[in-house]
Amino acid sequence: MALALDIDKLFKRRLLMVGGKGGVGKSTLAASLAVLAADRGLKTLLVSTDPAHNLSDLFECRFSQGRPAGQASVDWGKPSGKAQWRPQWRTRWKAPLQIQELNPQAALDDYLESVRKQMLPQVALGMRGALEKQLHLTRHSPGAEEAALLDVMTRLIQQRDNYDLIIFDTAPTGHTLRLLSLPGLMSTWASGLISQKKRSGRFRDVLSHLKSGADINNPLASADEAQQTPPALAPLLERQKRFSEAAAVLKNPAMSGFVFVMTPENLPLQETRRAIAALEESGMSVLGLLLNRLLPAEAAQIDFLRGAYEQQESVLSQVSEHLQMLPQVRLPMTGNKLQGRDGLLWLAGVLEEAARSERQKQKLPDSEATGQ
């Protein structure tokens, strides 16, 4: 039997990344986790990095059009109707839940404008047209928006002390593995740039700071060395340091980890297994698995649902075989509207009760846990 997910232990981390195949309900469950964190009095930030945002729809609230992220603040009072799932629900949270939807195009525009301002003083007048053309081409190059989003994510990670918990609603195999590869790529890029400047006689003795194995903090570690850092490279070195720090935080199991969401279907199972393997190979911690939209046993008696139920049981058997080491929670299929205050508070209650019930079962003798 797999371990039950302990939500309180989950919230002891500073960063949670919620991921899964598209359409499995990861945004809805990321929102529910954020609601539970806010209910515990944690100052929580929920961030969507998916270009197809739906947090504003889930929370049914208007987002301010900030750059590079739309923002909203949610402070719900006591729920009404079906959402009154537990009497101790706080009438007012200790701090409002902060929500952001990152805008990849705005992030890219802001990033390229910062590059333009940094480069213009270093470029001869006759070369500025070429610079503008290169920036225009970069705007439309593959991976440009992703790189800009990751730049914003590293800044949020750098500001983690402003919150008790940051939850990223993101696709882990894309955004995060890319994030982990960027510090090395940036070191290579910086080394090449410095080599070119050294050959031209404008920069000296900088390459040694970026050799493999060298401390990336060295170029800015002391006043004497800072004076030797070329102004054009200072932003690049700052960004390199920031990305390396973010990667270190994401690899620290005491500070961050992933929670995967999947439905009991073959394709989500296969993608989840590949993603878990890739993250663990990269040194990332996978904290748990939320199995979403499970059909009840009665579905086996209904012709229309029998095939789906049989597939579900087959997938759950494979989960027990291959993913037993992950703490898990099983959530039922529901016809309820999972939007707005009542919908999300109701789902948060279901999530917490399911986790509590599974933990309680594991404390019972096997005969009692199975109802024998």
115-137: per-residue pLDDT in tens?
788 778 777 788 888 888 888 88
- Give the model's pLDDT for residue 31: 96
- Give the model's pLDDT for residue 182: 67
Residue 300 has pLDDT above 90, yes or no: yes
Q: Is 5 exposed, middle or buried (0-12, 13-18, 19+ CB in 10 A)?
A: buried
Section 176-194 average pLDDT: 64
Residue 223 has pLDDT above 80, yes or no: no
Q: Which CATH superfamily hosts domain 7-121+128-362?
A: P-loop containing nucleotide triphosphate hydrolases (3.40.50.300)
Band (79; pLDDT cuts 50, 70, 90)? low
Q: What is the pLDDT of residues 163-175, one digit of tens each?
A: 999 999 987 566 6
Report the length, in residues, of the chain: 372
Least confident of 100-104, 132-136, 191-195, 346-350: 191-195
Winning range, highest mean pLDDT, from 39-53, 76-90, 114-128, 332-346? 332-346
- Give the model's pLDDT for residue 204: 46
Q: Report the distance separating Cα 32 and Cα 345, nearest Å.
A: 7
Number of H helices and number of E strands within the chain? 13, 8
Section 351-369 average pLDDT: 78
Q: How many CB atoms lie within 10 A of CB 57?
A: 11
Helix 104-119, helix 144-158: angle, nearest 10: 90
Section 1-18 average pLDDT: 91
Q: Is 308 exposed, middle or buried (0-12, 13-18, 19+ CB in 10 A)?
A: middle
Q: Report the distance separating Cα 234 and Cα 244, nearest Å.
A: 15
Radius of gyration in angstroms for the set of CA atoms belonging to the chain, rounded to a whole number: 24
Least confident of 33-42, 213-222, 276-285, 306-315: 213-222
Residue 371 has pLDDT above 90, yes or no: no
- Stated pTM of the model: 0.82
- Give the model's pLDDT for residue 361: 82
Q: What is the pLDDT of residues 224-266, one digit of tens each?
A: 444 455 666 677 778 778 888 888 898 899 999 999 999 999 9
Section 199-223 average pLDDT: 49
In the sheet where 256-262 sits, what is the strand order? 69-74, 97-102, 44-48, 165-169, 15-19, 256-262, 286-294, 328-332
For residues 366 and 315, which has the higher predicted lDDT (pLDDT)?
315
Two tokens at 291? 């199995």
> Residue ranges of the domains in the chain?
7-121+128-362
